[in-house]
Structure 1
């Protein structure tokens, strides 16, 4: 909205005879009609929740208890079933659903991202760490202990995010996103460290993490957190007007008398209070905040007040309905409510995104002007916010007779340096744990020289695992480079397309079918199947792939919920070993497993190098790319298939290792400079990161091996903070 448009709007408002625009009246009527319909649905679901459940008490007796007909409340059994079980559980479902819905809508509004989720501030990760720490370190076993620890961990995580995002000039939406991702990753990695070393903690955690309202008995727990929920709702209500102004831009918001930094801090406080209370009461119910905000935006548009109200009603209705289904679909047992939410929400989200209302959801393509403005930041990878670049040094020209080869000087030097670092990492990894060998002997043994026993020890028992790590890391780094360049977003990774969840599900299926741990091919097959389903359901890649992204998030939520249920129902020993793999591990990996990936890299890396020349053009506007003779759709499809194949091969070796696909292209880009897409450098950096992380996991704690994926996740959070705080400009 421009200043001239604002002035015109003010002029129109000053004229009393000017009628309201018909579209505005129609939108207002539609919104209030939707509110009325949601209230009716909510009342029906509330009545159904009170009438359904254990205890064999029908609707008639429930009504007698509510109205105290003929002294029904004096019946101890009726008082137990309705007064102590169903009423508190129903009210908790309504409040928790409303809290997650309002929090999701507020977070999407403040970040200007309709795909933002309530776990963005690290709340879920902080709550999980608090619960696991209480179980593993203090032996906490009570629901009240879980509640206090979950709430404390959630508040601590979101407090850190606010402190990080508010540093160096105040928090922008991107700083909130990066800060939440960083803190959430670090806390999630620490949770993994505790779980890997404590089977008892993992056994309790895998049940709690599914989310459930079955533990709500009586009013004590709800009474303790009701004031916190009330404060959260009030703060969210007070921020609706400032958020509406903030949607016009920070400058206009300041001109209207608002303070953008204070508004974002207030929204973060409201989201923290609401989400932390919800997690403490019902466990980490993921996806509901995203779903409620998305549905509300589809019905009411971007108006913050209506959006917040509708999101609260949608969240309450969805969670109450999911809780009712959780009680009846698997009688006499209860299904995890998070799975029901995912089963309801994923198809709904997919159905909405396949409609033509993507403009109302904020998922339209950026304008050419905006895209061109972004390319200035892309040129410097967003590090300084400046568009000026020093003239690059001349490239190296290698001639041999009539043949010549042009090598970019900086990229070539960076690749040579990374190759030397990789060799050093291999030697250090081969030496780790071998106290009888010095580094010199290890170095010679790597190349087959020295004492025969030393060579056998290093090459037979160490190098197989190292080669597997090299192959997986190179594949992940290259896949991350392709997806980040493809999406023009340094936070884009293949897992957004459901690669990790699809591969994990395929491995679990292969384990169930064969009774043994899945072969290397299970991961790639699952990854390719997941991406094929996502692409088919979304109707193709689209101009910028927004539909693919939304469908990928929905399918990932559904697959994750199913995976968690499968893990929860396996024996503790089987689930523990599978959990190690799902965290990312090189334990037991050797040449046999690494060979298929090495063959794949030998084929895919040259293809990626060829595609990189055309992919570099896509960092600019699509019109510019087309004018240069590049077909944007074809290049995106080829690069997407390359990235998925590479990521699937890596997951098949060592499981879903996090942050390597994110970090490797960023590091390689800084080393190689902005002139080229750092394809080869990303592969080398990825290999270095995985080998070093695996080495650190083997030697950090004596007698205990920390999976490589947990190490990369713990270290990935500080890396994101480095990316965030290392910028001199505003990271928009």
Structure 2
């Protein structure tokens, strides 16, 4: 009975197949074996072993509680006002009438005490929410930030700020709660399965929902300087705005309700770890348990976001450390996760006040610096192998090969002229011609869109230099430059995505999910800060190269570790995003506003001059990619097969990786980090060109079409308002990623 409280999937042994516990509807209690917290009680049945393990766990709880009290005392003694520990103690004990001192009452009573208590409650709330989500999904990667709940709450708050002018804490809470409910409901419903879906499906589904909600947030603030000014500080996550007890007093009942619901679910969660059928046999209702956990996590997360802004990784970090220290027992795990979360956030807040004096560092950045390496450590752990996180990703070409062997493949066309001959794939060539026609139509529509009375006929003639002189000047001088920049950036992104997807044998391995976009963006912003001028296109490829080098080394290689590289890429993106947000918050409002538009992905002001480096790069890199694609296609099979065919797998991977990084970095230098184009373009091109070949040219054409159409949509969707192209692709790309993941579930090959 000592395993009844375990929230772990069944352990695997030499004769078992690794997999989540939810794969078996009538799963039995987890057998005794090793756990992340150390060995389970002695299987010999010694009565002292469970007692010793329980005593050790409670000693750990006591140690964490002591550390928490020490950090809380330190928080009361550190900060502005030059009030030392002795005077703080005088105020707390009211020695010598210290509370009558107005300055001391302001510093300690109105600033430090509310801030410290807020840090304890917010950290505890996020820690408990993370532990609850990890237990109900049996997934150590479940966390409010990674599952898009923070993004949903953020969207709700920004909606209240930008549209309705909400400024009260209750207003923030109401909108944060609505957004968090919507996000968590979408992700948990999407993941499917009795145990909440596989770890990777939850993480990527949360990324898709978070990206879509983040794009909608960008739509609300990109054309509102006032809303952006308030958002850019709030989004960093900080406790600096906590003054007095009003806000905390208003939100305390909601936090209390969240903690009570979480405490009430500990016993049902312990039963749920045995499987749905056994839980029902014990008198519990699995559906009601999951709904209660979702309610508790939403109440706690929404309150935390309303108090301190979005703080990612804290729930993940607290749950992981608590499980490692105290084992999988749900009640003890939840308690310890709350204490660890409170301790980590309080310590991070103290560091935020001292590392950059006289300024304050964003507390979310400090938590991210701790949480991102922890995420990497989790996915590199042995437990992830049992959850399928480190298996090599399935080969995407398998279904296509089955299709071609089932029927008669269409013959390729051979072009001969004298002694020279070229083998032209019929389907790929027809797809490329069709895409070129679609691109031409998209260029005409984009050149026509705008504040003018040109009809489509006059626009089409002006594109080629015919018609009225003023028409030609308007189209070719002011509109085609922007369009050409978009074509160049889209082609580069589409080609980069094609290379990374084929290289990793995983159509989810795109530059933005590998941290390339955020790394390139951070490098460009750093170059702006250093040089004072914008437009250092070379900084993008350098930042992209640095990001992908770190991701590749830490994850153990693109092709060898499958899904692991995607999670490491998400961690790298989180770190780079923190750097970007800090750089934006440090600049003046006018400078930050223009840079925010660019960091959202924008073609505003782009012209032939800006597009030239990318066009030159494409002229050089596309032929190299076409040559590399022939060898890259061989790697779809196996390294041994490739070597027997005369292909060096390591050299081909390195060459393709460098090509993809250079292309993605150049694209970021032109229009900023435009998301999801590198994901969608190869998938669409592969469907059109067929599975027999790597769709290099088709991916570039689809990427160009997507960028041009998204930029056009952003210019005409709202009259008088321009939505950056990156926000458009992000809003539309999140659902596309969900569609891709649903396709993988229905066709796992």
Sort the TM-score into its range (normalised by shorter chain): 0.7 to 0.9
Aligned residue for 1:8, secondary structure, equals coil
The alpha-carbon distance between structure 1 residues 472 and 263, as it changes in their structure 2 partners (threshold 3 A), is farther
Deviation at 1:128, TM superposition (A): 2.5
Question: 1:401-458 deviations in whole A, cap 9, x for unaligned?
Answer: 6655444443333222222111111111122226443322322332333444433432
**Residue in structure 2 matching 1:53, options 79, 82, 101:** 79
Deviation at 1:592, TM superposition (A): 1.9
Question: Is the deviation greater in 102-111 or in 441-450?
Answer: 102-111
Deviation at 1:652, TM superposition (A): 0.5
Question: 1:303-328 deviations in whole A, cap 9, x for unaligned?
Answer: 76665554433322211101112223
The alpha-carbon distance between structure 1 residues 152 and 17, as it changes in their structure 2 partners (threshold 3 A), is closer
Q: Matches of 1:23 and 1:430 in 2, distance apart? A: 79
Aligned residue for 1:497, secondary structure, equals coil
> Where does the alignment leave 5 or more consecutive residues of structure 2 unmatched?
9-20, 31-46
Question: 1:93-138 deviations in whole A, cap 9, x for unaligned?
Answer: 1221122233334445556654454224432222332333333223
Q: Matches of 1:424 and 1:670 in 2, distance apart? A: 21
The alpha-carbon distance between structure 1 residues 31 and 479, as it changes in their structure 2 partners (threshold 3 A), is farther
Deviation at 1:586, TM superposition (A): 0.8
Q: Is the 8 A contact 1:172 1:731 kept in 2?
A: no
Deviation at 1:9, TM superposition (A): 16
The alpha-carbon distance between structure 1 residues 538 and 168, as it changes in their structure 2 partners (threshold 3 A), is closer
Deviation at 1:689, TM superposition (A): 0.5
Q: Matches of 2:713 and 2:297 in 1, distance apart? A: 36
Aligned residue for 1:406, secondary structure, equals strand
Question: 1:649-704 deviations in whole A, cap 9, x for unaligned?
Answer: 11011000112112222222332334433332222111100001111122223332
Deviation at 1:370, TM superposition (A): 14
Q: Matches of 2:26 and 2:202 in 1, distance apart? A: 42
The alpha-carbon distance between structure 1 residues 198 and 70, as it changes in their structure 2 partners (threshold 3 A), is same
Q: Matches of 1:196 and 1:255 in 2, distance apart? A: 53
Q: Is the 8 A contact 2:491 2:700 kept in 1?
A: yes
Aligned residue for 1:493, secondary structure, equals coil
Deviation at 1:582, TM superposition (A): 0.4
Aligned residue for 1:369, secondary structure, equals coil
Deviation at 1:610, TM superposition (A): 3.6
Question: Is the deviation greater in 442-451 or in 322-331?
Answer: 442-451
Question: 1:686-726 deviations in whole A, cap 9, x for unaligned?
Answer: 11000011111222233322211111122223434544667
Pairwise CA RMSD: 5.2
Q: Matches of 2:380 and 2:188 in 1, distance apart? A: 35
Aligned residue for 1:389, secondary structure, equals helix
Deviation at 1:276, TM superposition (A): 1.6
Q: Is the 8 A contact 2:379 2:389 kept in 1?
A: no
Q: Give 1:18's aligned residue.
A: 28
Q: Matches of 2:327 and 2:618 in 1, distance apart? A: 46
Question: 1:192-246 deviations in whole A, cap 9, x for unaligned?
Answer: 1221211111111111111111222344433433343344445545666776787
The alpha-carbon distance between structure 1 residues 71 and 186, as it changes in their structure 2 partners (threshold 3 A), is same
> Where does the alignment leave 5 or more consecutive residues of structure 1 unmatched?
373-384
**Residue in structure 2 matching 1:35, options 61, 72, 81:** 61
Give yes or no for the alignment of 1:387 onto 2:402. yes
Aligned residue for 1:118, secondary structure, equals coil
Q: Matches of 2:286 and 2:422 in 1, distance apart? A: 53
Q: Is the 8 A contact 1:49 1:324 kept in 2?
A: yes
Aligned residue for 1:398, secondary structure, equals strand
The alpha-carbon distance between structure 1 residues 413 and 268, as it changes in their structure 2 partners (threshold 3 A), is farther
Q: Give 1:590's aligned residue.
A: 607
TM-score by length of 2: 0.81
Q: Matches of 2:132 and 2:579 in 1, distance apart? A: 28
Question: 1:450-493 deviations in whole A, cap 9, x for unaligned?
Answer: 44443343223222211111111111112222223334444332
Q: Matches of 1:109 and 1:370 in 2, distance apart? A: 32
Question: Is the deviation greater in 64-73 or in 82-91?
Answer: 64-73
The alpha-carbon distance between structure 1 residues 269 and 403, as it changes in their structure 2 partners (threshold 3 A), is farther
Q: Is the 8 A contact 1:699 1:705 kept in 2?
A: yes
Q: Is the 8 A contact 1:131 1:149 kept in 2?
A: yes
Question: Is the deviation greater in 179-188 or in 615-624?
Answer: 615-624
Q: Matches of 1:159 and 1:367 in 2, distance apart? A: 28
Question: 1:32-68 deviations in whole A, cap 9, x for unaligned?
Answer: 5654443332222122122223444433344445455
The alpha-carbon distance between structure 1 residues 363 and 167, as it changes in their structure 2 partners (threshold 3 A), is closer
Q: Is the 8 A contact 1:505 1:563 kept in 2?
A: yes
Question: Is the deviation greater in 181-190 or in 103-112?
Answer: 103-112
Q: Give 2:168's aligned residue.
A: 142
The alpha-carbon distance between structure 1 residues 636 and 240, as it changes in their structure 2 partners (threshold 3 A), is farther
The alpha-carbon distance between structure 1 residues 36 and 635, as it changes in their structure 2 partners (threshold 3 A), is farther
TM-score by length of 1: 0.83
Q: Matches of 1:492 and 1:23 in 2, distance apart? A: 49
Aligned residue for 2:720, secondary structure, equals coil
The alpha-carbon distance between structure 1 residues 633 and 210, as it changes in their structure 2 partners (threshold 3 A), is same
Aligned residue for 2:421, secondary structure, equals strand
Q: Matches of 1:149 and 1:448 in 2, distance apart? A: 52
Q: Is the 8 A contact 1:523 1:651 kept in 2?
A: yes
Aligned residue for 1:61, secondary structure, equals helix
Q: Is the 8 A contact 1:294 1:361 kept in 2?
A: no
The alpha-carbon distance between structure 1 residues 354 and 149, as it changes in their structure 2 partners (threshold 3 A), is closer
The alpha-carbon distance between structure 1 residues 306 and 646, as it changes in their structure 2 partners (threshold 3 A), is farther
Q: Matches of 2:570 and 2:96 in 1, distance apart? A: 52
Q: Matches of 1:199 and 1:411 in 2, distance apart? A: 47
Q: Matches of 1:365 and 1:288 in 2, distance apart? A: 27
Q: Matches of 2:157 and 2:410 in 1, distance apart? A: 54
The alpha-carbon distance between structure 1 residues 26 and 498, as it changes in their structure 2 partners (threshold 3 A), is farther
The alpha-carbon distance between structure 1 residues 150 and 552, as it changes in their structure 2 partners (threshold 3 A), is same
Q: Is the 8 A contact 2:517 2:544 kept in 1?
A: yes
Q: Is the 8 A contact 1:597 1:649 kept in 2?
A: yes
Q: Matches of 1:233 and 1:7 in 2, distance apart? A: 19
The alpha-carbon distance between structure 1 residues 73 and 453, as it changes in their structure 2 partners (threshold 3 A), is closer
Q: Is the 8 A contact 1:395 1:409 kept in 2?
A: yes
Deviation at 1:524, TM superposition (A): 1.8
Deviation at 1:289, TM superposition (A): 2.9
Question: 1:117-172 deviations in whole A, cap 9, x for unaligned?
Answer: 42244322223323333332233344554344333333343345456666999977
The alpha-carbon distance between structure 1 residues 172 and 332, as it changes in their structure 2 partners (threshold 3 A), is closer
The alpha-carbon distance between structure 1 residues 570 and 339, as it changes in their structure 2 partners (threshold 3 A), is same
Give yes or no for the alignment of 1:528 onto 2:513. no
Aligned residue for 2:415, secondary structure, equals strand
Question: 1:255-291 deviations in whole A, cap 9, x for unaligned?
Answer: 9998776665554433322222211111011232333
The alpha-carbon distance between structure 1 residues 167 and 35, as it changes in their structure 2 partners (threshold 3 A), is closer
Deviation at 1:298, TM superposition (A): 5.4
Q: Give 2:40's aligned residue.
A: none
The alpha-carbon distance between structure 1 residues 569 and 178, as it changes in their structure 2 partners (threshold 3 A), is closer
Q: Matches of 1:419 and 1:23 in 2, distance apart? A: 74
Counterparts of 1:401-480 in structure 2, within 5 Å, are: 404-433=421-450, 435-480=452-497
Q: Matches of 1:463 and 1:12 in 2, distance apart? A: 54
Q: Matches of 2:636 and 2:283 in 1, distance apart? A: 37
Q: Is the 8 A contact 2:7 2:269 kept in 1?
A: no
The alpha-carbon distance between structure 1 residues 349 and 178, as it changes in their structure 2 partners (threshold 3 A), is closer
Q: Give 1:8's aligned residue.
A: 6
Question: 1:345-393 deviations in whole A, cap 9, x for unaligned?
Answer: 4566668888999769985445999999xxxxxxxxxxxx998787254
Deviation at 1:92, TM superposition (A): 1.9
Q: Is the 8 A contact 2:522 2:580 kept in 1?
A: yes
